[in-house]
């Protein structure tokens, strides 16, 4: 199936929610309706007499209003909505527009699908007192010449005096259903064509709903109004020959997508690109951009426990899952104000989707200090790979250009959902960023190291089928890994002599990190000499013995790799050795509950 077909399937499954307003959520619009924000609320009685008017606050929810196919996509041309419309159409300020409004409303009021509320509103509008009533309520904004400035303000209605049927028109399912039936009966007289979504002969949609994504309010998924620049000319004589979609199918598909894109549980926005993920039957799938286990979950100290927690999370999603359930993932972006592009689309079985999320989290994870083993979010991967830290204090954040963010987030979501190989360029970008740790504050430094180690592990599993341990391996036969350990030891030895533990003073090891990566033997010799000359005298005898023994063990492991390779540039594995060696110091301090200074020192690192 395609995107619009899945949207129709979703609408049919969720049709019981059409026209139902829920606090905090945008409602699903019925056929022939849109969801919008009103500006002025007018209350009248059953006879059409004015009672009161008030301005609608910005914090108040959107409402459902009946619209025609033409009015839903109106721009400069005069096309009246069916019930709730702007001052310009209802007030008589522009007689032609008001005539369009009252003619349509009278046709509905005189039909078999009318209601007392529709008749009362028609009576009030025909009385012509709207402008005077709004002036009395001080709701008209006029300039110094008396001209009305807020003529585009949308008016909605409340009708009282009807007993139990009294109240807002936008919550009245009888009114909403009445217009839907009235408008569909009116359109049924038009000639039918083959609907390419349903395969049925239906009255075709001439215009399709705009504003499916609220960020791109005027952009349409389907549009063919450009007959001069060869959008369809050369292949077809008329746009309908390119695609023909029934009005009902178009309404269901677009209203369902708009509802999904407005729902906090199914959509997330990165850099102006909107990603939505949903199950057509209403089950709530996890977002593919987020890790299955978060900071609030129980920490996992080893991979066995971590995988066990992931499988428990997976079981929670699948326990009541039908065998035929599926998941749809789509990304939308607008290059222009009028065109909404489907930048990514995929649909797969719900069970396969969850298994792929679990596989990603099992392979793209690493030890994250006291939080245990975790998988970084896709957002962190992109931010640290291509972003820039702004500021140096503890509140400094990683900032990234919106276009770069949206493009790479889509790549990673596709990689995770399609179970593809992790992109090499993103892994390399993270490794390069991690070569200059001194520019990051302690918080971002720790997050960057955790993220880059997770990604290195993921890339090696995908490409080399090589499992990277998330625990320190002191005897690992890898020159880069051992040099990374050495860098961590040299940093630790110097930092342990500092009297201030605010983390602002950098060690020689970190200041020389870039040289260390390119010429490790040369840089380590300089750092060790500085350490023994300037900092060893400040250490206790026991500490000097400890660091000497540890440095000696690491240099012995490096020497087994061959003297000719001592000074060659390091590979990305040095970051694994460095990060795990730092974590081993942290764990040692935590288990032994050593001095307050040492504990604070490790936290600052």
Tokens of 483: 């040099």
Tell me: do 430 and 514 sit in the same domain. no
In this prediction, residue 234 carries a pLDDT of 65
Residue 393 has a pLDDT of 76
Same domain, 381 and 465: yes
Give the per-residue pLDDT at 500: 67
From the CB of residue 552, how many other CB atoms can be counted at a distance below 10 Å? 10
Helix 573-592 vs helix 596-604: angle between axes, to the nearest 10 degrees? 150
Residues 163-189 as b or e (16 or more Cβ within 10 Å = b): eeebebbbebeebbbbbbebbbebbee
Per-residue model confidence (pLDDT) at position 598: 39
Mark whether 385 and 503 lie in a shared domain.
no
- Which of 153, 187, 221 is the last residue in one of the domains? 187
pLDDT at 240: 73
pLDDT at 594: 38
Last residue of a domain, one of 414, 436, 471: 471
Q: How many domains does the chain have?
A: 4
Q: Examine the domain organization and report whether 169 and 315 are in the same domain.
A: no
The ranges of the chain with pLDDT < 50 are 591-605
Whether 303 maps to a domain, the answer reads yes
Burial 27-48 (b: 16+ CB within 10 A, else e): bbbbbbbbbbebbbbbbbbbeb
The separation between the first and the last C-alpha atoms of the chain, rounded to the nearest angstrom, is: 52
Of 243, 263, 283, which residue is a domain's last? Answer: 263
CB 287 within 8 A of CB 413: no
What is the predicted pLDDT for the residue at 599?
Answer: 32
Q: Is residue 25 part of a domain?
A: no
pLDDT at 601: 40
Residues 280 and 213 in one domain: no
Kindly state the tokens that stand for 26.
């945008």
Shared-domain flag, residues 542 and 494: yes
Same domain, 250 and 123: no
∠ CA 38-39-44, nearest 5°, is: 85
Q: Hey, what are 152's tokens?
A: 């585009």
Does residue 23 fall inside a structural domain?
no
Nearest to 536 by CA among 593, 493, 483, 569: 493
**Do 482 and 599 share a domain, yes or no?**
yes
Q: Are residues 527 and 541 in the same domain?
A: yes
Residue 230's pLDDT is what?
Answer: 60
CA atoms within 13 A on the CB side of 372: 16
> What's 204's DSSP letter?
B
Residue 279 and residue 421 in one domain? yes
Domain with 227, as residue range(s), is: 1-18+189-263
Alpha carbon distances (Å) from 208 to 39, 457, 604: 25, 47, 56
Query: What per-residue confidence (pLDDT) applies to 223?
Result: 78
Phi, psi torsion values for 345, nearest 5 degrees: -150, 135
- Which of 107, 90, 3 is CA-nearest to residue 44? 90
For residue 203, tell me if it sits in a domain.
yes
CA–CA distance from 416 to each of 311, 372, 448, 468 (Å)? 17, 22, 20, 19
Residues 304 and 433 in one domain: yes
């Amino acid at each position: 199936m395609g995107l619009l077909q899945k949207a129709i399937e979703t609408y049919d499954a969720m049709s019981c929610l059409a026209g139902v307003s829920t606090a905090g959520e945008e409602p699903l619009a019925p056929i022939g309706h849109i969801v919008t924000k009103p500006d002025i609320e007018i209350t009248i009685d059953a006879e059409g007499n004015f009672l009161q008017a008030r301005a609608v606050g910005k914090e108040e929810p959107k409402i459902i209003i009946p619209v025609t196919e033409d009015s839903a996509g109106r721009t400069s041309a005069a096309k009246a909505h069916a019930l709730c419309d702007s001052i310009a159409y209802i007030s008589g300020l522009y007689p032609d527009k008001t005539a369009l409004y009252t003619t349509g409303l009278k046709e509905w009021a005189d039909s078999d699908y009318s209601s007392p509320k529709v008749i009362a509103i028609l009576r009030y509008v025909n009385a012509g007192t709207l402008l005077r009533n709004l002036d009395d309520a001080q709701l008209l904004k006029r300039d110094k010449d008396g001209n009305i400035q807020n003529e585009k303000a949308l008016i909605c209605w409340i009708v009282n005096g009807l007993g139990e049927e009294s109240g807002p028109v936008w919550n009245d399912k009888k009114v909403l259903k009445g217009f839907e039936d009235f408008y569909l009966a009116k359109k049924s007289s038009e000639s039918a064509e083959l609907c390419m979504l349903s395969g049925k002969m239906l009255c075709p949609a001439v215009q399709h709903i705009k504003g499916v994504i609220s960020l791109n309010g005027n952009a349409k998924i389907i549009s063919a109004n450009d007959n001069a620049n060869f959008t369809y000319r050369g292949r077809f004589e008329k746009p309908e020959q390119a695609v023909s979609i029934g009005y009902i199918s178009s309404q269901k598909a677009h209203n369902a997508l708009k509802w999904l894109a407005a729902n906090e549980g199914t959509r997330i926005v990165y850099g102006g690109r909107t990603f939505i993920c949903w199950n057509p039957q209403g089950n709530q799938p996890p977002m593919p951009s987020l890790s299955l286990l978060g900071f609030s979950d129980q920490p996992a100290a080893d991979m066995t426990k971590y995988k066990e927690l992931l499988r428990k999370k997976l079981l929670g999603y699948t326990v009541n899952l039908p065998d035929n359930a599926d998941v749809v993932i789509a990304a939308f972006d607008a290059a222009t104000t009028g065109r909404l592009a489907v930048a990514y689309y995929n649909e797969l079985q719900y069970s396969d989707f969850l298994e792929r999320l679990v596989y990603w989290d099992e392979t793209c994870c690493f030890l994250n200090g006291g939080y245990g083993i975790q998988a970084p979010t896709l957002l962190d991967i992109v931010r640290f790979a291509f972003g820039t830290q702004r500021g140096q204090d503890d509140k400094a954040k990683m900032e990234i250009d919106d276009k770069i963010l949206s493009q790479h987030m889509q790549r990673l979501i596709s990689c995770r959902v399609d179970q593809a190989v992790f992109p090499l360029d993103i892994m390399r970008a993270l490794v390069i960023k991690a070569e200059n740790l001194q520019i990051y504050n302690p918080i971002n430094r720790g997050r960057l190291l955790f993220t880059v180690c997770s990604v290195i592990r993921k890339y090696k599993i995908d490409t080399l089928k090589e499992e990277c341990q998330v625990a320190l391996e002191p005897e690992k036969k890898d020159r880069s890994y051992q040099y990374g350990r050495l860098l961590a030891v040299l940093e630790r030895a110097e930092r342990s002599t500092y009297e201030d533990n605010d983390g602002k003073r950098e060690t020689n090891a970190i200041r020389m990190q870039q040289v260390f990566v390119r010429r490790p033997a040369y840089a380590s010799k300089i750092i060790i000499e500085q350490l023994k000359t300037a900092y060893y005298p400040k250490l206790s005898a026991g500490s000097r013995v400890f660091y000497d023994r540890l440095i000696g063990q690491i240099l012995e492991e490096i020497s087994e790799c061959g003297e000719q390779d001592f000074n060659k540039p390091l590979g990305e594995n040095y970051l694994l050795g460095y990060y795990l060696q730092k974590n081993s110091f942290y764990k040692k301090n935590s288990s032994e509950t050593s001095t307050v200074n040492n504990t604070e020192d490790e936290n600052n690192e």
